[in-house]
């Protein structure tokens, strides 16, 4: 940075420390987005969905509903209010439509 230049910081930006980033069990696989899915706050299930299907209308609709329900400033993983089993089946169908079914499967 040159002399007199300023760094602007945003209060909404939170830097992750290197310790939390090293937990491989909580880190999603490359090419996946982690989300929490469930109807009840206490019974939510973490799922990793392929980034290639995030723009699918079904997923976009759920993300918009999530933003309406929880706001855009959610802390932690994005929460989606949906039945986890139904969500998994829909993600599998979308992946199959997009010909991702060969490389995608939930690890359970």
DSSP 39-107: SSGGG-EEEEEEGGGTTSHHHHHHHHHHHHHH-TT--SSEEE-S-HHHHHHHHHHHHHHTT-TTT----
Which position has the higher pLDDT, 92 or 5?
A: 92
**Is residue 7 included in any domain, yes or no?**
no
Residue 1 lies in a domain: no
Given pLDDT bands bounded at 50, 70 and 90, which one contains residue 71?
Answer: confident
Q: What is the mean pLDDT of residues 42-61?
A: 90
pTM here is 0.64
Is residue 22 one of the residues assigned to a domain?
Answer: no
For 71, the domain range is 30-97
Mean pLDDT highest for which of 11-15, 65-69, 97-101?
Answer: 65-69
Residue percentage of the chain with pLDDT more than 90: 26
What pLDDT is attached to residue 104? 56
Look up residue 40 and give its two tokens.
């009840």
State the total domains in the chain: 1
Question: Is the pLDDT confidence value at 78 over 50?
Answer: yes
Whether residue 65 is predicted with pLDDT greater than 60 in this model: the reply is yes
């Amino acid at each position: 940075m040159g002399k007199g230049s300023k760094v602007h910081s945003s209060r909404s930006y939170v830097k992750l420390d290197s310790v939390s980033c090293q937990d491989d069990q909580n880190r999603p696989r490359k090419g996946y987005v982690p989300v929490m899915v469930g109807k009840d706050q206490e019974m939510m299930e973490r799922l990793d969905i392929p980034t290639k299907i995030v723009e699918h209308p079904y997923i976009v609709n759920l993300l918009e509903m999530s933003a309406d329900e929880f706001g855009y400033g959610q802390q932690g993983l994005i929460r989606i209010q949906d039945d986890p089993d139904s969500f998994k089946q829909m993600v599998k169908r979308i992946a199959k439509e997009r010909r991702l079914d060969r490389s995608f499967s939930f690890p359970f």
